[in-house]
Chains A and B, each alone.
Chain A
Amino acid sequence: MSGGALRRKRAGPAVGIAVVLAACGAGADPAPVARVGDWVLTQERLADLLVLAQPLPLDSGSVGALVDQWVSMAALAQRTAAGTDLNGPEATEASLWLERREALLDAERRARLGEAVRISPEQARAEFHADTLRLLAHVLRRAGAFTSDAERDLQRRTAQGILDDLVAGGSWAAAVDRSEDVETRTSSGLLGLLRVDELPSRLREAAARLEPGQVSSVVESPQGYHILYRPRFEEVAELYPRLLADRRLEAADAEADRRVGDSLGVRIAAGGAGWVRALARGSGERAVLREPPAGWDGGALGVDVVARHVLALPDDARARLGGASDDAAVAFLERLAVRQARLEGAVRGGIAADGGALDDLTGMHRADVEAWRAALSDGATPFSRQAVDRYMERLVARRISLRPVPALLRRWLLEPLVWGVDATARDNAAASARRLISAAARREGS
């Protein structure tokens, strides 16, 4: 594996961050892209998957997501085959750690600020028509920078077809069923309650023109082709006040956080900003912090809490944190410290997360587990290497949808396993895939 660098997960330390292993063996086969236990994802295999996944954009984000999913599913298969109960308390705790904290914080926030942001039906209607915050939904047909002209044209025509159906009296629910935005498809395509200027520039103008009950024409953005919809108040009479309250709660909470932060006198450890940046870049173990990253009178922010939060960040946010200024990194730690102090205060004050919300979270985890198990038992010996191969093929063929493993559960699954991802090998595989596609196109043209 010349030139490659595999990151290996070590069991033991609470944070358990990957370390860099030296490359070995000159002149051997090309370095594997990823390894979990003795299973490897070879460069050739990844290149094949990337071609099979066309029209998947071959950018590093998409390729990385595919590799991450292989790692997650390989770990999930190996742990399940070894008898780990994915619905057991440890796995559930790992899966829902962040969401359960959020549920408790939400309860604390509502206890503290709920009355201040209660919205009456009259206020909701008035706010809806005052038009400062718009509730918007969308349907998206994806097309990225690497999408071929033919594919782009098809996606545009598909979006236009969806719009034609809507104009002809089709339902918004049927339109959303054809959306390729996984995150919003299960919630009627709702983007949320937004000020128009919070939208990306290309959508802004279309959104600004919409009256309640209207759909936009097909709008192109870097994500693809959108159709925006602005629901009528009657359609969202129950939802709108809740979203409005959430939005106000969020604003009030941010302000309250600032006040709490001031009153706590949060102190950030010397070197804390650099340490959290290194953590976000995945090289945190090389940065040593001799004290808790943040502290206040009567409390401190643990390394593990920070590490879990950093790991659970979306990839792009983690990358931004990895390159953040000192001020931004310090602000991140201060915000975590305030949230930790509030959580501890909630526990001391006997506040508990809403039982129904916790049950929902547990149900969500169980549904995920069921789906992963089914996907890794289809057409091959369950939880075998072949089952993971078949899963990946079905995934890139879009026969099944991506159901990502939450970052913290993934970390827990990988803890006892030797694993690693080689970014150079991953990039090489993507380059191979591009070469295969180009070679095929040349042959076609000749």
Chain B
Amino acid sequence: MKAGTTRGGSRAAVAAAGLVSALAAGCAGPSEAPMTDTPGEAVAGLTEAERGRFLLGRALFERLATPEEGLGPLFNGDRCSTCHDQPAAGGGGTRVRVLKATGMAEGRCTLLESVGGDNIQLRATPLLLAAGLGPEDVPPEATATALLVAPPLFGLGLLEAVSESELARRADPGDADGDGISGRMARFADGRVARFGRKGDAATVADFVESALRFELGFTTEGHPREEARNGVPVPAAADPAPDPEMDAATMALLIAYVRLLAPPAPEAPASAEAADSIARGGRLFDEVGCARCHVSSLTTGTASESALSRRRIRAYTDLLLHDLGGAVGDVCTPRAAPGEYRTAPLWGLRYRELFLHDGSAATLEAAIGAHRGEAEAVTRAFQGLSPNRAALLLRFLSRL
């Protein structure tokens, strides 16, 4: 009996301790994720090992790749920062655009895998050119093409750490609330949520990085050790001097760590109390008009392997869901997203963008808002119905993000 009492007491003590700890955690609540005034920096609060991995990953990100190392034979850029360098390494870019091509037949989307895939590589290494082969062509089977600008990578680790339940809470695929805005979680066949990419193209930062390595730089990886075919035809072995896989898992892990740990850019600090007030009023208009229904101002991260990313409130202005923006901005498709469907783009760091929308087709924020149709039609009209002064306040708010 004595022993049983002891065991019972022990269990009670453990349970009580767990409760206290859960309460403590609940009381603490998520803290604001630190943002940076210096784009390209790591999130604050990393351990020495995490910071070392971030910096080594950045060195790789900036490094000029060569065919001997694994570049090509087909590729779009010879280093990651060829495309992701505005305003700093890890940012977006407009200098190089990625050509996508997809097919649509009987309402079904195809990524044209048999004729080279949806990513059209526009450059070829000297060895491939010497073999009489050049960059890829858009296959005749394509029914749509798009020239895309590289998105900024800031804050991706925090977005990855947002829990699925947090996203699900905001999804309304059937527009149950009747506000005209649905929003759905795109999922891969294995059930993972496709939260990255313009059209929900990747579930994790690791997937995103691996795709970029394969399709933009032409590296084979341990997960995908076969070289990309040129419009579906294998490239000659003589044009591909590096042994496969061209990037090992440890090296790729450094790149992934770098991208995961890039800090989100902080909004520009207002120069005066008056400026702060007008920005705050612009922020309220952003909510009132309805922009914030998709570009939600706050998400909370769950548990991540790095404490710097865990239980943080983030100001990314996205719900990471797919929305139908209408035919006007529609182009290529994916198996998970129709031509007019796009994942809500994060708006943090907007002040560093020179062109807007996925294809850089909007030169101003006003033009970008005006291009939002489909589910966003009513919101766009509401913005366009604002008085010039109020519209200017809203745009000012956005241009400081």
Q: Which A residues lie within 8 Å of B27 (CB)?
A: none
Shortest beta-carbon distance from A125 to chain B in Å: 36
CA distance A441 to B47 in the complex (A): 13
In the complex, whether B67 has a CB less than 8 A from a CB of chain A is yes
Quick one: which of A51, A164, A398 contacts B56, CB cutoff 8 A? A51
CA distance A442 to B52 in the complex (A): 10
In the complex, whether A213 has a CB less than 8 A from a CB of chain B is no
How many residues on B have C-beta within 8 angstroms of the other chain's C-beta atoms?
28
Known: A161-B241, A444-B250. A436 touches B48 (CB 8 A): yes
A397, closest chain B residue (CB):
B62
Q: Which B residues lie within 8 Å of A441 (CB)?
A: 52
In the complex, whether B175 has a CB less than 8 A from a CB of chain A is no
**Which of the four size classes fits the interface of chain A?**
20 to 34
Quick one: which of A154, A396, A436, A443 contacts B69, CB cutoff 8 A? A154
In the complex, whether B3 has a CB less than 8 A from a CB of chain A is no
Contact with B along A424-446 (1 / 0, CB 8 A): 00000000000111111111100
The reply to whether B49 and A437 contact each other, CB–CB distance below 8 Å, is no
Q: Which A residues lie within 8 Å of B47 (CB)?
A: 439
The residues in B between 32 and 91 inclusive whose CB is less than 8 angstroms from any CB of A are 47-53, 55-56, 58-59, 62-64, 66-69, 81, 87, 89
The reply to whether B69 and A437 contact each other, CB–CB distance below 8 Å, is no
CA distance A396 to B81 in the complex (A): 14
In the complex, whether B150 has a CB less than 8 A from a CB of chain A is no
The residues in B between 204 and 248 inclusive whose CB is less than 8 angstroms from any CB of A are 241-242, 248
Q: Which B residues lie within 8 Å of A53 (CB)?
A: 59
The reply to whether B253 and A444 contact each other, CB–CB distance below 8 Å, is yes
Quick one: which of B56, B68, B254 contacts A154, CB cutoff 8 A? B68
Shortest beta-carbon distance from A430 to chain B in Å: 14
Known: A161-B241, A435-B48. A444 touches B66 (CB 8 A): no
Shortest beta-carbon distance from B61 to chain A in Å: 9
The residues in A between 388 and 446 inclusive whose CB is less than 8 angstroms from any CB of B are 393, 396-399, 435-444
Q: Which A residues lie within 8 Å of B53 (CB)?
A: 440, 443-444
CA distance A179 to B48 in the complex (A): 35
The reply to whether A436 and B55 contact each other, CB–CB distance below 8 Å, is yes
In the complex, whether A54 has a CB less than 8 A from a CB of chain B is yes
Contact with B along A14-54 (1 / 0, CB 8 A): 00000000000000000000000000000000001001111
B57, closest chain A residue (CB):
A440
The reply to whether A52 and B62 contact each other, CB–CB distance below 8 Å, is yes
In the complex, whether A379 has a CB less than 8 A from a CB of chain B is yes
In the complex, whether A62 has a CB less than 8 A from a CB of chain B is no
In the complex, whether A158 has a CB less than 8 A from a CB of chain B is yes
Listed in ascending order, the chain A residues whose CB lies under 8 Å from chain B are: 48, 51-54, 150, 154, 157-158, 160-161, 164, 379, 393, 396-399, 435-444
A to B CB contacts below 8 Å, 27 in the list: A48-B55, A51-B59, A52-B55, A52-B62, A150-B251, A154-B69, A157-B68, A157-B242, A158-B68, A160-B68, A379-B87, A398-B62, A398-B63, A398-B64, A399-B62, A435-B48, A436-B52, A436-B55, A439-B47, A439-B52, A440-B52, A440-B53, A440-B55, A440-B56, A442-B49, A443-B50, A443-B53
**6 nearest A-B residue pairs (beta carbon):** A440-B52, A397-B62, A436-B52, A51-B55, A439-B49, A443-B49
